[in-house]
Structure 1
Amino acid sequence: MPGSQISKTEFKARALEYFRQIEASGDPVIVTDHGKPTLEVRPYRGLERDPLQVLRGTVLRYDAPTEPVDVEWEAGQ
């Protein structure tokens, strides 16, 4: 079920079944509206987790971490 997508109509009809599957597997479900993803239903994870653990695996690539960042910034008005 990882990355599963279901319509709002299907989710409404089988919500308890999906809740049980999500709780058991830990995998989120994407709910769609007219084919567009609108919601993600996933298990609750408390805030007592280590912030570094939450971010682990989210950086895909980090080139030249000691080099200056060459980006032009626009000041907000």
Structure 2
Amino acid sequence: MQTIAINEFKARLSEYLNKLEKTRLPLYITRHGKIVAKLVPYEKETAWEEAKERLAGSVLAYEGETDPVGETDWELLDDPD
């Protein structure tokens, strides 16, 4: 686990971002010895994750949570693309 003080991270931001990109390992940023942030490398989201994010919160009400799911709904779940 690599930790770095926030003031050093701020002064050498570009260097640490390059290192993060190369190593793909998280970087923990500390303030007064306590971890305050975790910086992780970016990973492109899959189409399925993007779709879930777009649909999050789109169901305003669902009254029949125990009702059977329709066949077309199951087909959509089988093929997220």
Q: Which TM class, normalised by the smaller chain length?
A: 0.5 to 0.7
Unaligned runs of at least 5 residues, structure 2: 50-81
Q: Which has the higher helix share?
A: 2
Count of residue correspondences = 49
Instruction: Kindly state the Cα deviation for residue 48 of structure 1 after the two structures are TM-superposed.
Output: 1.1
Largest Rg, 1 or 2: 2
Length-normalised TM-score, structure 2? 0.55
Instruction: Rate the CA distance shift 1:48–1:13 in 2: closer, same or farther, 3 A.
Output: same
Q: Which moved more, 1:7-16 or 1:39-48?
A: 39-48
Instruction: Rate the CA distance shift 1:19–1:49 in 2: closer, same or farther, 3 A.
Output: farther
Q: How does 1:48-67 map to 2 (within 5 A)?
A: 48=46
Instruction: Rate the CA distance shift 1:49–1:8 in 2: closer, same or farther, 3 A.
Output: farther
Q: How does 1:1-77 map to 2 (within 5 A)?
A: 3-48=1-46
Measure, in 1, the Cα distance between the counterparts of 2:12 and 2:44: 26
* C-alpha RMSD of the superposition: 1.7
Unaligned runs of at least 5 residues, structure 1: 52-77
> Deviation above 3 Å: which 4+ runs of structure 1?
none
- SS, match of residue 44 in structure 1: coil
Q: Quote the sequence identity (%).
A: 33
Length-normalised TM-score, structure 1? 0.57
